[in-house]
């Protein structure tokens, strides 16, 4: 299994531009998590999907952030418009059914820099 796949690995963009991050979870996993990691705040849960349905988006910072999961093998996290404070590493993780006792499998992350 290829594990969780994220693209792009690095993204440099200018303030105001739209950014789209992509994730392919492990086949057969029905739970997907988007996290943001910064030095100041550590690893924060942005949104959680179960069976392609957003269950908890309370961690999404503001309306500039949106996430979709159109099918079991693909999810996107979009930032529009982007701001310098959005600079961070964004991780996608998947697990079998989402329980807190389960292993979460993380992708390699997308390192985003907004100038």
Q: Which residues bind other proteins (CB under 8 A)?
A: 4, 31, 41-43, 45, 48, 50, 55-56, 91, 93, 98-101, 103-109
What pairing do the DSSP bridges indicate for beta strands 19-24 and 42-50? unpaired
Nearer to other proteins, 81 or 104 (CB): 104
Q: How far apart are CA 48 and CA 60, in angstroms?
A: 10
* Contact call for residues 88 and 112 (beta carbons, < 8 A): yes
Nearer to other proteins, 20 or 96 (CB): 96
Locate 65 and state its tokens. 């952030």
Nearer to other proteins, 13 or 50 (CB): 50
CB of 77 to other proteins, least distance (A): 15
């Amino acid at each position: 299994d290829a594990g969780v796949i994220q693209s792009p690995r690095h993204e440099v963009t200018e303030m105001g531009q739209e950014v789209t991050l992509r994730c392919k979870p492990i086949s057969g996993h029905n739970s997907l998590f988007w996290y943001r990691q910064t030095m100041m705040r550590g690893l924060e849960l942005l949104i959680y999907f179960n069976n392609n349905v957003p269950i908890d988006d309370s961690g999404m910072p503001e309306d500039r952030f949106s996430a979709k999961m159109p099918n079991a093998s693909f999810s996107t996290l979009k930032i529009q418009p982007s701001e310098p404070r959005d600079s961070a590493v964004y991780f996608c993780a998947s697990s079998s059914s989402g329980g807190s006792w389960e292993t979460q499998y993380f992708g390699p992350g997308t390192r985003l820099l907004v100038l």
